[in-house]
Amino acid sequence: MTFKGTAIAVMLTIMGIAEVYATGTVVDAVSAFEKGQYELAKNHFQELHEANPNDPQLVFYLARSLYRHQELETAETILLKSLERFPDHVESQYLLGSVHLSRVADVNIFRKAGMASSAVTAWEHAVTLDPTHAEALYGVASFYLTAPGIAGGDRDLGMQRLTELEALSPPWALLTQASLAVRDEQYEEAEALFKKAIKGIPGRAFPTLMLANLYLKQEKFELALVQLEAYKSRAKTWNDPGIAQTELMAGKIYEGMDQTHAAIKSYEIVVSEVAHRQIKKQAKDALNNLYSR
């Protein structure tokens, strides 16, 4: 067994999953997930969950794999069921919020506001359980400050949460402030804030992608490409955007640079990946436009 495998075994023993670790399947599943082999990870965790249905950590692992594999409804179902019995599982609450938010695009217009509200509620629960959970608090503050009122946005409550976030983690607060600056078209301010946030949150890659998107929005394509490549080279966590999202952005950048062949290649990668249907639709529409030239 490798050092990494030994470390995982120790972690699982601490979490009380030593019994199922004996099969070696948990190590295989975690390894597959870390390599981006989400379908394989999902299959492994499904087997483990069926053998140990009352283990909330295995539910979290399985739901996380389903989330990355775009099986959002199934992830939502098993998380809700698990959280009925284990409401104090912080990371499941946080993941549930992410699943709910991803589902907003899928539900009909009458359910969108409710689904978004459910996402914030789950993140609020995560913060209540773990007041040091900066990422969950970031999600709460960002939602209240950027969502329209009809969808649950609340500037006063958002500013309150932002103040709490500034006290807990200034770099995460900077990220929220940068998004507000983008919304208000204060692009120079947003750029400076993103750069500070990137330095202050070295363990997360997605702020770099947010900066790339800012440059793309301003049609600063060369700068956008530099930041996109920087994002691709960084270590990722389970909730950092994957290949489909990055190649969709790459396609848009290459189109802006009049590099049609590179743009087509990126969009074709998006279509071949497991991705949200709206992301695939954007890529297919772009390809149809490029093919017709």
pLDDT of residue 26: 83
For residue 18, pLDDT over 50 is answered with no
Rounded alpha-carbon distances, angstroms, from residue 13 to 16, 41, 93: 5, 19, 23
CA angle at 102 for the pair 29 and 119, rounded to the nearest 5°: 100
Provide mean pLDDT across the span 207-211: 98
Decide if 191 contacts 211 (C-beta within 8 A): yes
pLDDT of residue 12: 41
For residue 203, pLDDT over 60 is answered with yes
Distance, first Cα to last Cα, the chain? 54
Rounded Cα distance, 71 and 66, in Å: 5
Q: To the nearest 10°, report the CA torsion of 164, 169, 172, 177.
A: 50
pTM of structure: 0.86
Rounded Cα distance, 256 and 134, in Å: 36
pLDDT of residue 123: 98
Q: To the nearest 10°, report the CA torsion of 134, 155, 123, 105.
A: -120
pLDDT of residue 202: 93
For residue 9, pLDDT over 70 is answered with no
pLDDT of residue 24: 52
Provide mean pLDDT across the span 4-32: 55
Decide if 172 contacts 201 (C-beta within 8 A): yes
* Residue 13 or 244, more confident: 244
pLDDT tens-place string over residues 213-263: 999 999 999 999 999 999 999 999 999 999 999 999 999 999 999 999 999
Provide mean pLDDT across the span 149-153: 84
